[in-house]
Structure 1
């Protein structure tokens, strides 16, 4: 029987939603305030979910401290207090929408977590706006 464990972390980052192949008018019409040329920021809340079988020796699906350390190394240190458009390689050519951020984070974590575990995540950009990605 599979069970899901969840770890919640937070990071703060700035971004600008912008498509360089569009005119300024089209960018403003589609992205609104999120297209501000001076950027804007969010306090992102990330919930990482791993589903798997409980290890009979440890009673764990996955060691939560190990998961926390992995998220900090792969996500928090990379994106916290950064301008995603300017300070990261992941988003210098990719529009840093919540959807794209979630996909990038999922790929970073998937590369470090065995496929024995189902991986999913929820990324809150605001209290009311969030995305879920399960690969």
Structure 2
């Protein structure tokens, strides 16, 4: 029997969307207010889903306390109240769009969660805008 468990977390972070290969005018045209040279912030909501077989001994797919601790260690401690462009190594040369952030989060968690589980990440940048990875 397969099931999915989800953990929802929250973090705040600043970023600037900018492509250094483009002119300031091109960056402004493509990214608009998100290209503010003084950065801007979001209150991100993160949803992490682990999908797999229910263990007949525990009744768990995945221990949610372990998932919570893993998210805190690998994601919240790294991203919360940070400037993603300046403070987070993964974005030194990667534009911190919501799409790139969700892939980075997925990769950080994927390396810690057994491959027997499927992993789904959904990141809300605003109440109306979110991205998810992977998609099928």
TM-score bracket, normalised by the shorter chain, equals: over 0.9
1:43 corresponds to 2:43: yes
CA distance in 2, matches of 1:31, 1:123: 19
Query: 1:110: which partner in 2?
Result: 110
What per-residue deviation string (whole Å, max 9, x for no partner) do you get for residues 4-61 of structure 1? 1100000100000000000000000000000000000000000000100111111100
TM-score, length-scaled by structure 1: 0.98
Alignment of 1:1-135 (within 5 A): 1-134=1-134
Gaps of 5+ in 2: none
CA distance in 1, matches of 2:13, 2:55: 36
TM-score, length-scaled by structure 2: 0.98
Number of equivalences: 135
- Give 4+ residue runs of structure 1 displaced > 4 Å after superposition: none
Gaps of 5+ in 1: none
CA distance in 2, matches of 1:121, 1:84: 18
CA distance in 2, matches of 1:43, 1:72: 16
